[in-house]
Amino acid sequence: MLLAAVAALVTAAATTLAVAAPARAAGPTASFVKTSDWGTGWEGKYTITNGGSSTITGWQVAFTLPTGTTLGSYWDATVSSAGQRHTFTNRSWNGTIAPGASVSFGFLATGSGSPTDCTLNGDPCGGGTPTTPPSTTAPPTTPCLLSTSPSPRD
- Is 137 a member of any domain? no
Q: What is the pLDDT, as a whole number, of residue 153?
A: 57
Q: What is the pLDDT, as a whole number, of residue 32?
A: 98
Write out 70-131 in H/E/C secondary structure: EEEEEECCEEEEECCEEEEECCCCCCCECCCCEEEEEEEEECCCCCEEEEECCEECCCCCEC
- Is 11 a member of any domain? no
pTM beyond cutoff 0.75 = no
Ranges under pLDDT 70 in the chain: 1-25, 128-154
The residue count for the chain: 154
By the 10 Å C-beta count (0-12 exposed, 13-18 middle, 19+ buried), 97 is classed as buried
- Is 72 a member of any domain? yes
What's the total number of domains in the chain?
Answer: 1
- Is 39 a member of any domain? yes
- Is 65 a member of any domain? yes
Q: What is the pLDDT, as a whole number, of residue 4?
A: 53
Residue 88, domain extent: 28-124
CATH number, domain of 61, equals 2.60.40.290
Average pLDDT, the chain: 80
Q: What is the pLDDT, as a whole number, of residue 127?
A: 72
